[in-house]
Amino acid sequence: MKFSGEVTHLSQKGYGVVKNTHNAVSYFVHGTWPGDIGEFEVIDKPAHNKKFAYARLIRIINPSPHRQYPACVYVNLKDNPCTGCPWMIADYASQLDQKRKHFLYAMKRVGFDAADFDSVPIQPALELFGYRNRCQVKTDGRKLGFINEESGQMVAVSDCIVLNKPCRTLLKTAIQRLSDESWRFPVDGGIHFIDLDDTMQRGEIQVDRKRPFRQGNTQQNIWMRAWLKEKLAQIPNLNKVVELFCGSGNFTQIIAGSECRSIRAYEADQSAIDQLQSKNLPKVSACVADLFAPFIWRSLKKHVSDADTLVLDPPRAGLKRQSGFFESFRALKTMIYISCNPETFARDAWFFKRQGWSVDEVQLIDQFPHTPHVEVLAMLRNNA
């Protein structure tokens, strides 16, 4: 079925939303932007809500005033384009505006008054291209590239303009190694992953070998670390800090440089803890703990009950385990929450609010231009 209409807004996942007036169904459409008027075709892709479905863009009748031609040739492929930077179709100012709206909607949806966050600032990226210090590519041993989220098929590439120079060099080196027989599956259908980051040497490129997590935009990470340093300096009588999801110590280094007396840092990955311990940071006790395990807060209680400040930087799932949290963190006065997912941040912030906490300050930061991703930095205080 084909229909025409105007894209009115973006979904939480960054798809354009257009309503078909003939059947009153709203459709999610990849590669569209608010203000686009186009012709669309319904596709056979399941949606969780009967009021919504999926469609594909056939042609633009009248483009949004914010629409632009993508700088990447792979984004603009007609058949099976790269979907890694879906917002490259829009000017950067409107991308930032949509990221702010994404955050506001997430807060409103859980129960907050969005008007309380209307003035939340967003820190733009300094570079729109050449900014990524890491990526994951896929290979079947014959070609190498990224997976199209719509088709599930690989998009073979020879370059990626959002990667920084070292990563672009590593990508090209990996492509040159496609003749390596160990990368090939005996039959079609198998896919390897290759993690690349700009701390690697060419000889370290391997298939199916995870690299330790690190923030993907070096310049924006420097900005976040400076923000954290400033916020820690504003906390009076900073005593014991607990850090959850500390990784290999990106933010632990900043906490260690503060006026706090001690730090207890937790992370599930032993290799990350090993890296953190090798830095010999003062005041830091680094421990392995599965922070998503059942009854985790009860098991950590004796080590965290006297902490007055909590710093957490969870993965997209957010805090997840809430039961028993405040029974274990009895002395908390301040939390600094760094989130890569506005939805799970909003969920957790609402949980904190119901326990007597307030979201005193929020700062958004754009780590990944041309994507729906936005980072949330927040300070929360105990009102008790």
Instruction: Tell me if residue 339 falls in helix, strand or coil.
Output: strand
Residue type, 332: L
Distances (CA, A) of 61 to 29, 64, 87: 15, 10, 19
340 part of the active site: yes
Q: CA-based diameter of the chain, in Å? A: 66
Q: What is the torsion angle, in degrees rounded to the nearest 10, for the CA atoms of residue 168, residue 169, residue 172 and residue 177? A: -140
Determine the Cα–Cα distance for residues 372 and 97; give it in Å rounded to an integer: 11
Determine the Cα–Cα distance for residues 17 and 5; give it in Å rounded to an integer: 10
Which residue intervals of 198-315 are DSSP H helices? 218-233, 252-256, 270-278, 296-304
Q: Which residues contact 348 (CB under 8 A, 6 or more apart)?
A: 318, 319, 322, 337, 339
- Token pair listed for 162: 């959002």
Residue type, 30: H
Instruction: Establish how many alpha carbons lie within 13 A of residue 73's alpha carbon, considering only the half-sphere containing its beta carbon.
Output: 5
Instruction: Name the β-bridge partners of 215.
Output: none
Instruction: Tell me if residue 317 falls in helix, strand or coil.
Output: coil
Determine the Cα–Cα distance for residues 222 and 138; give it in Å rounded to an integer: 29
Instruction: Tell me if residue 285 falls in helix, strand or coil.
Output: strand
Active-site residue identified among 72, 82, 246, 340: 340
| Closest residue by Cα to residue 248 from 197, 174, 305 | 197
Question: Which active-site residues does the annotation give?
Answer: 340
